[in-house]
A and B are shown apart, each in its own frame.
Chain A
């Protein structure tokens, strides 16, 4: 009988196990409830970039990681998990920002409507050094009258710089609005050689 009690006591002593710190955050990321994020240098300065299994989900400047997490929650409904960026993603972003054209970067546009996705996918086809008017996007996606809606969709681009919404300008040739301000748009277009 004492053997039984002794063994039970020893088994109970094996309870002192605590889950690794990253277990919960890994689960949330793998379940699609959280995105990982890190900070990276871009042509417009340092920005936070979030990503998940589907691709890059959000690119935004923020003062702190906490502020970026809040943005992530507001815009995508996902929790943010600060993490080191995978090397392949980091290299792809650096090459893209340095001006390399043929660098594939997966993006996650699942939070966007079908219309917004088609606008963003069409915008992704505008090559570096080129510009297209809002009306061109509208025509390309088969909605030639939806010019204003195209502008609205681009204004909500979750992944600017990766999907180059700065290459879309007004129909009258004016530079137009940009998610990070008109001056940033002009700077990017100048860097890319689209504006002389």
Chain B
């Protein structure tokens, strides 16, 4: 995520390509951002089946919006934060509308595990990761979005602020508050150290 100081954000080139030839560059945009939007939606909603639909809907909404924008407006877009914003709105609508799918257990999201871990340790780690995922998905929406974008998506505060259309100070406060809530709730769960 870090890049040399002064180097242009890779989204600048992508925005220019979208302005030049939307249909061609949109496919590249989807390839570049599909993992990020799907991961964001998965962590935000806590369900990979709904997350796929959210990510898909978000991309389609983005494409339809871009079709209506002139080249100048597309060039000035911060593509990443803009896409996260659309995904967030799509996910939020779903969460509020409670149109969530109950997925089979074998389609649960892949979790990062260290293959060198012993089986017993791995089981405990999976339980802990599952609890963490559940607690993230249970955070109030404003804290959840801020925490996921900061610590899972690894976005700098300025980009989170752009994605959430909020001042950087508010974003920092929401990340801090969300992390505090997470720690408290994880500590309250027996056997799961925060």
Contact = CB atoms under 8 A, between A and B. Distances in A.
Interface residues of B, number: 39
Interface stretch (B8-16, B86-94, B127-135, B159-167): B127-135
Interface stretch (A27-35, A40-48, A114-122): A27-35
B27 A79 contact: yes
Interface residues of A, number: 26
A170 to B, nearest CB: 40
A22 B129 CA distance: 26
B127 to A, nearest CB: 12
B141 interface: no
B60 interface: yes
B56 interface: yes
B188 interface: no
Contact of B132 (A4, A10, A20, A23): A10
Contacts of A15: 39, 112, 152, 154
Nearest to A33: B23
A12 B35 contact: no
A7 interface: yes
Contacts of A18: 35, 38, 110
Contacts of B43: 14, 17
Interface in A94-133: none
Interface string B123-145: 00000110011001000000000
Contacts of B183: 3-4, 7
Contact of A16 (B110, B151, B186): B110
Interface string B76-112: 0000000000000000000000000000000001111
Contacts of B152: 11-12, 14-15
Interface of B: 23, 26-27, 30-31, 34-35, 37-39, 42-43, 48, 52, 55-56, 59-60, 63-64, 109-112, 128-129, 132-133, 136, 147, 151-152, 154, 179, 182-183, 186, 193-194
Given A19-B52, A79-B27, 7 more contacts: A4-B179, A8-B179, A12-B154, A14-B132, A23-B52, A24-B31, A33-B23
26 contacts: A3-B183, A7-B182, A11-B152, A13-B112, A14-B111, A15-B154, A16-B110, A16-B111, A16-B112, A17-B35, A17-B43, A17-B110, A18-B110, A19-B34, A19-B52, A19-B55, A20-B48, A23-B38, A23-B56, A27-B34, A27-B56, A27-B59, A30-B60, A31-B26, A31-B60, A31-B64
Interface of A: 3-4, 6-8, 10-20, 23-24, 26-28, 30-31, 33, 77, 79
